[in-house]
Amino acid sequence: MAEGIMCYFSTVILFFIVISFINTEKICPGYGFVKFSENCTSTCSTSNDHCSNGTKCCQRLTEPCGFHCIKPKDDVKKSGDCPQLQANNPFWFLCDGHYCDVDSDCQGMAKCCTNICRSKICVMPNSSK
């Protein structure tokens, strides 16, 4: 009987893990403050995203630049909240960098947060309550 209960709970846990990945928001990779080439061509439009096979219409910096259907990043949130301001962290004031798009781009427990310049940086979160 204990084996049946363990099997049931294992199935329920697996179900919730699968559902959490299915329902995660899909995020296009970002590039920070860069000037895109003027000779770009696009094969899709973000206002009319008709991409298939789990891809999303995102802007690419590398050739071929422009908007193309690419595999987006899953926005799986790590625990904790982004801090307001960390005066002792120089990255908090970095206005020309782009270090992450989603929490999973950051190592360990660090989260991908927006700094005062709207750049994305990896910082340690406030602990969850």
Neighbouring CB atoms inside 10 A of 12's CB total 10
CATH number for the domain running over 75-129 = 4.10.75.10
Under DSSP, is residue 30 helix (H, G, I), strand (E, B) or coil? coil
> Looking at residue 1, what is its pLDDT?
53
Paired tokens of 121: 């940086």
Domain extents for the chain? 25-74, 75-129
Q: Please, are residues 44 and 36 in contact by the beta-carbon 8 Å criterion?
A: no
For 36-87, the pLDDT digits (tens) are 677 788 888 877 777 888 888 888 877 778 888 988 888 889 999 998 877 7
Q: 68: alpha, beta or left, given left = phi > 0 and alpha = psi -120 to 50?
A: beta
> Looking at residue 111, what is its pLDDT?
94
E runs forming strands in 30-124: 56-60, 66-70, 73-75, 111-114, 120-123
Average pLDDT of span 32-38 = 63
Q: What percent of the chain has pLDDT over 90?
A: 18
Nearest residue to 56 (alpha-carbon basis) of 34, 24, 15, 19: 24
